[in-house]
Amino acid sequence: MSFIKTPAVPIESINPKVKDCEYAVRGEILNYALRLQEELEKNPGSRPFDEIIYSNLGNPHALGQKPITFFRQVLALCEYPALLDTDDTHKFFSSDAISRAKKIRSTLTGKSTGAYSHSKGAKGLREMIADGIALRDGYPANPEDIFLTDGASAAVHMIMQLLIRSENDGILCPIPQYPLYSAAITLHGGTLVPYYLSEAKGWGLEVFELKGNLDLARENGISVKAIVVINPGNPTGQVLSESNQQEIVELCRKEGLVLLADEVYQDNVYVKDKNFISFKRIIKSVGYSDDEISLVSFQSISKGYYGECGKRGGYMELCGFSEDVKDQIYKVASVNLCSNTSGQILASLIMNPPKPGEESHKLFFAEKEAILSSLGRRAKALEDAFNSMEGVSCQKAEGAMYLFPLIKLPNKAIEAAKKVNMVPDAFYALRLLDATGLVLVPGSGFGQAPGTWHVRTTILPDESKIPAIVSRLKAFHESFMKEFQD
Amino acid sequence: MAFDCAASVDVGSINPKVHKCKYAVRGESETYPQILEQQLQANPGSLPFDEVIYCSIGNPQALGQQPITFFREVLALCDHPSLLEKSETRNSFSSDSISRAQKILSYFPGKATGAYSHSQGVKGLRDAIAAGIEARDGFPASADDIFLTDGATPGVHCMMQLLIRSETDGILCPIPQYPLYSASITLHGGTLVPYYLDEATGWGLEISELKKQLEDARSKGISVKALVVINPGNPTGQILTEDNQQQIVEFCKKEGLVLLADEVYQENIYIDYKKFNSFKKIVRSTGYGKEDFPLVSYHSISKGYYGECGKRGGYMEVTGFSSSVREQIYKIASVNLCSNISGQILASLIMNTPKPGDASYESFAAERDGILKSLARRAKAMENAFNNLEGVTCNTAEASMFLFPKIHLPKKAIEAAIAAKKEPDAFYTLRLLESTGIVVVPGSGFGQVPGTYHFRCSILPQEDKIPAIISRLAAFHKLFMSQYRD
């Protein structure tokens, strides 16, 4: 009889894909930050900073951004319809919020947000989203091709599960990438085929780089099923040019790749000389038919100017898929019954916000513009700060919510990292956290050209805090470089 | 190298596990009724019934059940906290819903319910749930053991993904079972090891049957990892006796199985001669401590008297796993960031309802008891109705939201079914739908002893519709039997 208790579920017996999968955004550095937070709460003043700033995750409301008033009015009226019938309803809710809530409720199963909806999401809400897509792109959208999900992440998993049969199936992913993609590919047993974005060219996507990696994978016996393109980019923040998008579409068509277009940052563009163009619009404007190219477009309520991360809403729009494949996707969606109705409602609202002339439009527009212009200013302030630091260069954040500065770490720092068994950028990020309370994610969590080091920061801390953050960052970096100078 | 682009995603090239997976509760049980509904709308009077009644799915609010007022008050206040700032809107809310909302909002930094929470769910809400579990069972529960999920379903998928390495890993499942389990096992590449519940003894669970099936599987080289027990049962509606539960616990302990306890119907109890006991309570009262016994208990906001299906809320309480395995579970949860906040809030409310003396208590209790008593009456009325049909026997629905009557189909009916290329029970339920508009799910979707036929019918239509449903059912059945009688 052994005195050492063997757990009934030893770690060796669990699914190796689960063990292999990684998600740095909520990984080690966050665990350390949470411990620091506890320490600070128990012992205020024990650290050279008095709060932890979670700049590791695109989570705007956690850092003080307020929800859009119109959206929350509609949500509250949908959740507690008794509010629609009080004497004071019109005093506290705008008339368009009231009529929108009534319209939405009429589309819901049992007129209630508490019933399971259709597994693709309530039909009426999908129709509203389809209308919004058509208005955005200038081409019609079919509500039957829209699947509402608990955030875009759930939809990404569904597609990876659908496409990947074994580790012989590959998915092309940008490096750097948002590590949901690498995690989902690992969990579903596939192979990630990397293509490198070119930092020197503003994180540009070179089609010959794509093709080179595609061919190499095929030579190694990998059947490459799809390509992930994140536009605007995460962590890299670039907005693709229209011609670049056309090249990508053409490559997909020629090579039989499904185009997985992560477009969750479509409402986060900060530069005047570029616009977000959906891949759907590109495909339609070039004139490709449905049997020439398959596209999945992902959108989310978590980003943009709405930032409703906790409500978990999003959708995927399918183009160029046969009915029987769509039936299989529907079947997988039906096993989980449906996505949450608050998220569904918010998805319909972000694709169909108040229009000029409607009662809520003035306030809505002011809130939206304030948030977006502030994000633009914060992006610039942080970009400039990084570029002023020794050995650091930072590409412009044209869109999304992040900066991904390149840090030239001195050899001594790299050696010090190795000594404590850490990846050099993780070593830097941890020291940074210890000195400033700022939580950033090491670039190794996203992938980067070998021998280069980055960190990802969000641009989300409240604008009033940015100057203090910048000065602490600069002070830390200066002292770090001094400590490890070659 | 040429690639056939149009066929790049065809049914032949997708993940075969997706292809193989089935979920009878939606699928055909819904698409055809929806077509009939559309036909009725376009052409009223064109069918022998004037509405389609979905008795196929546990979706109470789709059939007229009202949400619990207190819960929706709290939800609306949390969604739109500015309602708390105006004294006039405050008058529309009960005082305890206001204080509960304020308490809940205090758990969110900056009162931001739109932010991603901790990946296990908001700590304060988990504390409330742990307290509720402790009050229910009389044994301690920890917030660290709780994982809030978008419904119980994602928690089931998480454990299947964790435990299943390949098709040589098996999971013991009851037959009949809720087909999420079979679908999830298929999707994650495992093997379902069936154990038959005994209809003659009220769907009892015999340990000898469990043992036989386990040994049979092992002799075929299957490594059986876990046992799924649904208590109260779905589709079968029985409540396990305490003795039976103790035997199951001992069986799992002896055979090194993880116990996956689906307890989502714990608050749908219609008889007074049995009580619901959580498996956690049984495990602890048997003397097994936190480290001794791997148990996952599932609960959901979709059932009970609250029926908040569309809000997608639930949790799993995970105990008896090593910390290294727990980290892996946390990691899977973190890839999808967190479950939706409304669902998390509702999960904390159902485990922590108004108490006597609270302002809302009386109206809350009246709503709750009204719903539960009505469900019990409907369960009895329909059970009696089924037992009055020729060749039909129906076990008492001690709990849950369904009845699972057995029908003796005459040979002629079975032959007609085979000729129509349908499972005999699906043939019956299709004819039932076409004659009466009543949608039920064939027993073949849940599994049944070979050669027996059943269907699952919910007890959820509003009480005033039950007599008409019963008489239409009886009329149809009489006609069917006279057509196919041996």
Q: Please say if the pLDDT value at position A2 is more than 60.
A: no
Q: Please say if the pLDDT value at position B1 is more than 80.
A: no
Q: Please say if the pLDDT value at position A3 is more than 60.
A: no
pLDDT tier for residue A6 given thresholds of 50, 70 and 90: low
Which among A213, A201, A214 has a CA at the least distance from the CA of A244? A201
B113 chain-A contacts, CB cut-off 8 A: 61, 310
For chain A, positions 187-226, list CB contacts with chain B under 8 A. 187-188, 218, 225
Distance CA B442, CA B454 (A): 6
A119 reaches B (C-beta below 8 A): yes
pLDDT tier for residue B398 given thresholds of 50, 70 and 90: very high
Q: Please say if the pLDDT value at position B7 is more than 80.
A: no
For chain B, positions 210-229, list CB contacts with chain A under 8 A. 225
Inter-CA distances, A325 with A144, A320, A377, Å: 13, 10, 45
B142 reaches A (C-beta below 8 A): no
Q: Which residue of B has its CA nearest to A108?
A: B62
pLDDT digits (tens, 9 = 90+) for B158-208: 999 999 999 999 999 999 999 999 999 999 999 999 999 999 999 999 999
Burial of B21 by CB count in 10 Å (0-12 exposed, 13-18 middle, 19+ buried)? buried
Q: Please say if the pLDDT value at position B372 is more than 50.
A: yes
C-beta atoms of A334 and B331 within 8 A: no
pLDDT digits (tens, 9 = 90+) for A343-402: 999 999 999 999 999 999 999 999 999 999 999 999 999 999 999 999 999 999 999 999
For chain A, positions 18-37, list CB contacts with chain B under 8 A. 18-19, 21-23, 25-27
Q: Please say if the pLDDT value at position B3 is more than 50.
A: no
Are A447 and A195 a contacting pair, CB within 8 Å? no
Q: Please say if the pLDDT value at position B4 is more than 80.
A: no
pLDDT digits (tens, 9 = 90+) for A219-254: 999 999 999 999 999 999 999 999 999 999 999 999
B12 reaches A (C-beta below 8 A): no
Q: Please say if the pLDDT value at position B373 is more than 70.
A: yes
pLDDT digits (tens, 9 = 90+) for A125-173: 999 999 999 999 999 999 999 999 999 999 999 999 999 999 999 999 9
B367 chain-A contacts, CB cut-off 8 A: none
Q: Please say if the pLDDT value at position A334 is more than 90.
A: yes
Identify any residues that bridge with B195 across adjacent strands, giving them in sequence order.
B174
Whole-complex ipTM: 0.95
Closest partner CB to A162 (pick from B18, B88, B153): B18
Segment B231-253 mean pLDDT: 96
B325 chain-A contacts, CB cut-off 8 A: 7, 9, 11, 14
Closest partner CB to A19 (pick from B17, B163, B328): B328
For chain A, positions 60-99, list CB contacts with chain B under 8 A. 60-62, 64, 67, 69, 72-73, 75-77, 79-80, 82-83, 86, 88, 91-92
Average pLDDT, rounded, for chain B: 95
**Nearest CA to CA, how far is A297 from chain B (Å)?**
16
C-beta atoms of A340 and B26 within 8 A: no
pLDDT tier for residue A5 given thresholds of 50, 70 and 90: low
**Nearest CA to CA, how far is B484 from chain A (Å)?**
34
pLDDT tier for residue B90 given thresholds of 50, 70 and 90: confident
Residue A96, pLDDT score: 96
C-beta atoms of B335 and A184 within 8 A: yes
C-beta atoms of B9 and A83 within 8 A: no
Residue A1, pLDDT score: 43
B162 reaches A (C-beta below 8 A): yes
C-beta atoms of A113 and B310 within 8 A: yes
B100 reaches A (C-beta below 8 A): no
Residue B467, pLDDT score: 96
Residue of B78, B116, B255, B339 best to disrupt the A interface, most CBs of A under 10 A: B116
Are B310 and B339 a contacting pair, CB within 8 Å? no
Segment A456-473 mean pLDDT: 96
Q: Please say if the pLDDT value at position A290 is more than 90.
A: no
B140 reaches A (C-beta below 8 A): no
**Nearest CA to CA, how far is A429 from chain B (Å)?**
20
Residue B262, pLDDT score: 98
pLDDT tier for residue B87 given thresholds of 50, 70 and 90: confident
pLDDT tier for residue B6 given thresholds of 50, 70 and 90: very low
**Nearest CA to CA, how far is A143 from chain B (Å)?**
16
Distance CA A226, CA A209 (A): 15
Whether the pTM exceeds 0.80: the reply is yes
Burial of A360 by CB count in 10 Å (0-12 exposed, 13-18 middle, 19+ buried)? buried
pLDDT digits (tens, 9 = 90+) for B424-468: 999 999 999 999 999 999 999 999 999 999 999 999 999 999 999
B6 chain-A contacts, CB cut-off 8 A: 291-292
B183 chain-A contacts, CB cut-off 8 A: 335
A336 reaches B (C-beta below 8 A): yes
Segment A196-202 mean pLDDT: 94
Segment A409-425 mean pLDDT: 97
A294 reaches B (C-beta below 8 A): yes
Residue A349, pLDDT score: 98
C-beta atoms of B311 and A116 within 8 A: no
Residue of B10, B15, B78, B94 best to disrupt the A interface, most CBs of A under 10 A: B15
Going from the N-terminus, what domains does chain A have, and what CATH number goes with each? 11-64+365-483 (3.90.1150.10), 116-350 (3.40.640.10)
C-beta atoms of B331 and A18 within 8 A: yes
Q: Which residue of A has its CA nearest to B158?
A: A18
**Nearest CA to CA, how far is A205 from chain B (Å)?**
22
Residue B2, pLDDT score: 41
B25 chain-A contacts, CB cut-off 8 A: 334
Alpha-carbon Rg for chain B, nearest whole angstrom, is: 24
Q: Give chain B as a 3 state SS string.
A: CCCCCHHHHCHHHCCHHHHHCCCCCCCHHHHHHHHHHHHHHHCCCCCCCCCCEECCCCCHHHHCCCCCHHHHHHHHHHHCHHHHHCHHHHCCCCHHHHHHHHHHHHCCHHHCCCCCCCCCCCHHHHHHHHHHHHHHHCCCCCHHHEEEECCCHHHHHHHHHHHCCCCCEEEEEEECCCCHHHHHHHHCCCEEEEEECEHHHCCECCHHHHHHHHHHHHHCCCEEEEEEEECCCCCCCCCCCHHHHHHHHHHHHHHCCEEEEECCCCCCECCCCCCCCCHHHHHHHHCCCCCCCCEEEEEECCCCCCCCHHHCCEEEEEECCCHHHHHHHHHHHHHCCCCCHHHHHHHHHHCCCCCCCCCCHHHHHHHHHHHHHHHHHHHHHHHHHHHCCCCEECCCCCECCEECCEECCCHHHHHHHHHCCCCHHHHHHHHHHHHHCEECEEHHHCCCCCCCCEEEEECCCCHHHHHHHHHHHHHHHHHHHHHHCC
A164 chain-B contacts, CB cut-off 8 A: 15
Closest partner CB to B76 (pick from A15, A18, A80): A80
Distance CA A191, CA A197 (A): 19
Neighbours of A390 (CB within 10 A): 14
Are A394 and A404 a contacting pair, CB within 8 Å? yes
Inter-CA distances, B198 with A235, B41, B210, Å: 56, 43, 12
